[in-house]
């Protein structure tokens, strides 16, 4: 039988050479790209949309809506008076690390009235980043409680805002009573490299927490 036909039957054409030689990681079955899901949580206005936007390599999907007077009583804007929009469903972005680790980022809506979505959002996630603003630490309690109760590994990332008092990670750990084995770090959601550090720390922590 004609060998070209039999090769084609297996989807391999001997007539077509790949443009570039395959990289070692592409042929090593132990290093197939891994896609993971990460949830980004925290209070209203803490910087979740900013985080997803600063690292995503695809145009982040956002579901921002202009805030209206109807939400004046529920969405507290005292700390972020310049904020005009709010995430009504979620943020979504993607980042590839080290060639073969693809992280899909899902930002949660901060407002309590959207909490019915959380159980769906965390399904299949390897872990969560809980963002904290030191001016409003208590806003991250609901997220901390949620991840503690469902057992999802998480790290705490303090997003310092201009003009807010600087704190050491250990001060924040104490204030929020975060257990010792959980990473607490200072991050700037506007800086890609800073967000990547946080994401890597979460991936490492999630691997540590995974039973053998």
Ligand X SMILES: Nc1nc2c(ncn2[C@@H]2O[C@H](COP(=O)(O)OP(=O)(O)O)[C@@H](O)[C@H]2O)c(=O)[nH]1
User: Least separation, in Å, of the C-beta of 155 and ligand X?
Assistant: 16
The one segment of 75-83, 147-155, 173-181, 203-211 that binds ligand X by CB under 6 A: 75-83
Do 169 and 186 form a contact (C-beta atoms < 8 A)? yes
Point out which span in 15-23, 81-89, 134-142, 143-151 binds ligand X (CB under 6 A).
81-89
Rounded CA separation 47/157 (Å): 11
Residue from 41, 46, 105, 126 touching ligand X (CB under 6 A): that is 46
Select the span of 7-15, 48-56, 65-73, 150-158 touching ligand X (CB under 6 A): 48-56
Q: Which of Mg ion, ligand X, none lies near 198, with the C-beta cut-off 5 to 8 A by kind?
A: none
Q: Which of 56, 93, 105, 110 binds ligand X (CB under 6 A)?
A: 110
Judged by CB under 6 A, the residue of 92, 104, 114, 161 near ligand X is: 161
> Residues touching Mg ion: how many (CB under 5 A)?
3
CB closer to ligand X out of 122 and 187 = 187
Is 159 a residue that touches ligand X (CB under 6 A)? Answer: yes
Rounded to 5 degrees, what angle do the CA atoms 69, 73, 77 make? 85
Q: How far is CA 72 from CA 16, 68, 78, 82, 210, in A?
A: 62, 7, 11, 14, 42
Joined together, the tokens standing for residue 156 give 């705490």
Length of the chain: 212
Token pair 């979505």 is found at 117
* Single residue of 53, 87, 159, 194 touching Mg ion by CB under 5 A: 87
Contact 53, 60 (CB under 8 A): yes
Q: Which of 143, 147, 148, 129 is nearest to 202 (CA)?
A: 129
- 118/14 Cα distance (integer angstroms): 50
Binding to Mg ion by residue 108, rule CB under 5 A?
no
């Amino acid at each position: 039988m004609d060998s070209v036909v039999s090769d084609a039957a297996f989807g391999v054409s001997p007539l077509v050479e790949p443009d570039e030689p395959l990289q070692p990681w592409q042929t090593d079955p132990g290093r197939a790209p891994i896609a993971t899901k990460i949830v980004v949580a925290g209070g209203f206005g803490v910087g979740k949309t900013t985080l997803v936007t600063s690292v995503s390599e695809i145009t982040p999907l956002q579901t921002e809506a202009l805030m209206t007077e109807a939400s004046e009583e529920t969405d507290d804007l005292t700390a972020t008076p310049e904020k005009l929009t709010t995430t009504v469903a979620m943020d979504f972005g993607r980042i590839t690390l080290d060639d073969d680790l693809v992280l899909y980022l899902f930002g949660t809506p901060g407002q309590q009235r959207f909490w019915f979505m959380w159980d769906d959002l965390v399904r299949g996630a390897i872990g969560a980043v809980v963002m904290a603003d030191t001016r409003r630490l208590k806003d991250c309690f609901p997220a901390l409680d949620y991840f503690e109760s469902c057992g999802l590994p998480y790290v705490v990332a303090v997003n310092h805002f201009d003009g807010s008092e600087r704190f050491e990670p250990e001060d924040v750990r104490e204030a929020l009573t975060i257990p010792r084995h959980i990473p607490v770090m200072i991050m700037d959601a506007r800086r890609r490299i800073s967000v990547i550090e946080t994401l890597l720390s979460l991936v490492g922590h999630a691997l540590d927490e995974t039973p053998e």
